[in-house]
Chain A
């Protein structure tokens, strides 16, 4: 960051440049980890003391800090959400989530009903979440909008539930749960294989729904790639995952071999079975470690490549995006964050969050070919229900940045 001679406060070029010549609108993040730590720790304390009812205020403070420090062409974002309204939505969605997770404890039928209800509500909730977040975000005094329709949300998301539905239907094939028939097993594999085959298509449908409907003033984005590019990306991600898996399996084989040799030398008899919870804990820790090793490389890879592919293919008539998020830097940062998170028992999180956000957001450069001063609000921004925001929060939905 020190090598950059660019002053983040100043716009880069004079506005008199011919309308069609592109000029970059560089993004700078000016926040600091230590300041976010101070905000985070106080937010956390208040959230615990109030049994999490403070969360909406904490979220507004966090977003306003990140937004006020995200400068696009020298101008910051602002967040307009009202914490009181967000609290209402938060409580509502919280109750729904408790009911949902409780349902699974009591009976399989209740769980199935809960999944069905969620499937029906999910697309509407997701759309509400996008509308809320964008409708309450502004740049240069103009509010963003999410213009996707409700029908569009259902059209792109309901197909995602087909595999789960097919699996549920297949259960009726089983007569004796102890001895599932070969046809049943074949059908399960068939459904799984088919789901994997259409997953990139689903992903593309979803991303297209999002990136076709971001709007600011008269600008309206669209996603310019077809599903084929998503298949290419998915294949590469899958390849990286397979490589990691092979490496992990080799490591596991070596460790198991070494442990076996050690036990043989010491002549110990296996008594772990006698201490069943210890045995269970060992298994859980082992599985977590394997899971970690398996994902530590593919996740940053997928993140950098998909951000680059999707945002570089997002454009309006007068604006397009360049995303150059390097995989190596993201992997290095991920490893560093994990290490410091563990060493500091989680207190490093605000620093990790700031570093991560900075790397991802600064990798993005909007390229403007129109005139910013002609940008103006279209219709009066409709304020949307804040329960969408809480839903987005609880189910981990975001705009991918």
Chain B
């Protein structure tokens, strides 16, 4: 192959590679722009505090869904965060053998496991025995989804804590568990907090598992044993309905959801990048 031809191939392939990135970025801006342009027209302040209305009736909102999503996210955090961090502690500070390997492996598999299956599972173990869809079931499903994400970020940031810090604590006679709680986890906290924010953003956008667990509720509800509305299920129902009113409301609510998720991701990115 002549040098000229090799140079030409070089140019073409580099151009193609740049093009693939532009295609990816193009789709990001298309999807976000689409939601923004169709949502911004129908957004108003009243929708944040009102209940959904039947199609054809003007007004109506997603107040109950916002509260529902908040409750579900808190429940999920209560389950997912402590267990996730402890898994990260275990694989770094205690685990050497098979158990640690399997924990790591299954945690990785679970991270990208179909969330619909987790929804179905929680339906079987919580909804069926309780004979009712409930906020609790939704929170458990989202907590299970959160768990491996937190575990991975805890694992990775605890791994970065230098051993000299642990040794310094031991030299002062601090027991291992106090060292982990007072030295290791605080040193790893920025990575763990980044992971928590990413995990919260992720579960806020989950729809499929909630269809099997918390279902939906068009009224205000704070009860953990009753079905509860959520932003995603509300949007899903509105978007797949044949009514224009509801579809417009779906776009306005989707804009709220995307905004919340993007903000969380951007804060996580800035916060996580700051200390590196």
A interacts with B:
no
- Residues in B lying within 8 Å of A, measured CB to CB: none
